[in-house]
Amino acid sequence: MIPVLATLAEAWSEVRVHRARVVLSLVGVFLAVFAMTTVTALGLLVAQVQQEQGERMGGRSATIGVTAYDPQTGMPPDPQEWDAAVADLTERYGITTTASIGYEETRFRLPGGTQAVQTKRVSPSYGQLHRVEPIEGRWLREGDRDSLAPAVVVNEAFLAALGVPDLSARPTVVIGGGDPVRAVVVGVVREGYGEELLAYRVDRSAGPWDAPGVADPSAMAFGPSTLELWVRPEQADEVMAVVSHDLGLALGGVQVDAYRSDSQGLEETLGMLRLAIRGAGVVVLVLGGLGVLNIGLVTVRQRIREIGVRRSFGATSSRVFSAIMLESVCATFLAGLAAVALSVVLVRNLPLDQLLNSGIPLAETPAFPVAAAVEGLVAATAVGALAGLLPAVIAVRARVIDAIRF
């Protein structure tokens, strides 16, 4: 134990005594480890953001979109038949999470006049399937189907058109048409481009303002209604095949299309990007290591006399070797530690939802990846060991009597 402690103490003493040289030689290693760790951590965070963005658009992995329509008329199938066929299908295959999406234009009476707004009629489970994170208020829920006043979730442009800054005043808006009804704005999402107004309502309701089970005649205006099924990715292909087949048979003469609607290949793309950046980090790390090696070689030649003196104290070859190696390892480990610490501070304090996610809160903000920190420290230590190897060999092979010159 004592020799190990003594070797560490000796190495640390050398680092302390030669701190200016050590610090200069470590700039490259510090920058490389900082870059590697930060890139790795940011890569994971960006992947999370990309994944959430992809999931907002196309659903979580794996989401199977199903559309059904009469090829002759283009109209959707009878709602009762459709619901029965879907219920039978989900029960048979144990699919627990489904969502329906329909598109319509809803006429909202806004302060500037009545305006037709593109509205998605969705089931509340759409929020779970698409990771919808309202920036204010809440998402639609099952109880909204029975509400006397329909609930709507709108985007920020809609809220601005409504002339209210936020939901604190519990704003309402009248849905016009033949049977006008006052709806409650329950949530705000960050979606749409520019001044485009968007709204979400529950797909079908038992409320007095919506005839239950009746297909909206305008539902086909923006394409057929879609059923979404959330299944395990490995089951996706099989489910797509059976859904098309079984629903086609059940509905008779209806064209049923099933397809993957979630983003695929995103992970591979991000993986390639991370690999490229990490490759650059490794190159920088190698260059930093060469800097440490270079200064280590110069220094060890200057310190030959000192090494000779230490040999006269009884230092063995292995002790001289390990002291020089540890000196390098200690220094690069400390540089790695500082780089990782700075990386953690930077990444933790970056407004990632503002920078990467248009200000939408991340559904799952990942913690700073421990693997990235460990990887950075291991890389720094390995560079120190490699860069210390050659100077250590030179130190051991130096002739003591030449070094001391009695």
Partner 1 sequence: MTLLALRGISREVGLPDGGVLPILTRVDLEVAAGEHVAIVGRSGSGKSTLLNILGLLDSPTGGEYLLDGEPTGALRARRRARLRGEVFGFVFQQFNLLPRRTAEENVAAPLLYARGRDYLRRRRTARELLDRVGLGARADIVPERLSGGEQQRVAIARALVRSPRVVLADEPTGALDVETGAQVMALLAEAAAEGGAALVTITHDLNVARLADRRYRLDAGRLTPLAEPAPTAVVPAPAAAPLEEALP
Interacting residue ranges for partner 1, rule: CB under 8 A: 2-3, 5-6, 9-10, 13, 17-18, 305-306, 309-319, 400-401, 404-406
CB of 384 to partner 1, least distance (A): 21
CB of 381 to partner 1, least distance (A): 23
**Distance of alpha carbon 228 from alpha carbon 248, whole angstroms:** 16
H-state helical runs in 303-369: 304-312, 317-349, 352-356
276: helix, strand or coil: helix
Closest to partner 1 by CB, 10 or 375: 10
CB of 403 to partner 1, least distance (A): 10
The phi, psi pair for 364, rounded to 5°, reads -135, 95
CB of 367 to partner 1, least distance (A): 42
Closest to partner 1 by CB, 10 or 210: 10
Closest to partner 1 by CB, 5 or 214: 5
Closest to partner 1 by CB, 5 or 370: 5
CB of 6 to partner 1, least distance (A): 5
Q: Strand 97-110 to strand 172-175: parallel, antiparallel, or no bridges (unpaired)?
A: antiparallel
CB of 306 to partner 1, least distance (A): 6
Best CA proximity match to 160, nearest among 130, 136, 177, 179: 136
The 3-state secondary structure of 200-227 reads EEECCCCCCCCCCCCCCHHHHECECCEE
Count of residues for the chain? 406
Closest to partner 1 by CB, 73 or 302: 302
Closest to partner 1 by CB, 14 or 375: 14
Do 156 and 170 form a contact (C-beta atoms < 8 A)? no
CB of 271 to partner 1, least distance (A): 49
**Distance of alpha carbon 71 from alpha carbon 255, whole angstroms:** 6
CB of 315 to partner 1, least distance (A): 6
Closest to partner 1 by CB, 175 or 307: 307
H-state helical runs in 221-265: 236-251
Closest to partner 1 by CB, 142 or 402: 402
Best CA proximity match to 246, nearest among 123, 60, 61, 66: 66
Closest to partner 1 by CB, 10 or 55: 10
The phi, psi pair for 178, rounded to 5°, reads -65, -30
Q: Where are the beta strands (DSSP E) in 112-244?
A: 113-122, 136-137, 151-155, 172-175, 181-189, 198-202, 226-230
Do 224 and 76 form a contact (C-beta atoms < 8 A)? yes
CB of 272 to partner 1, least distance (A): 50
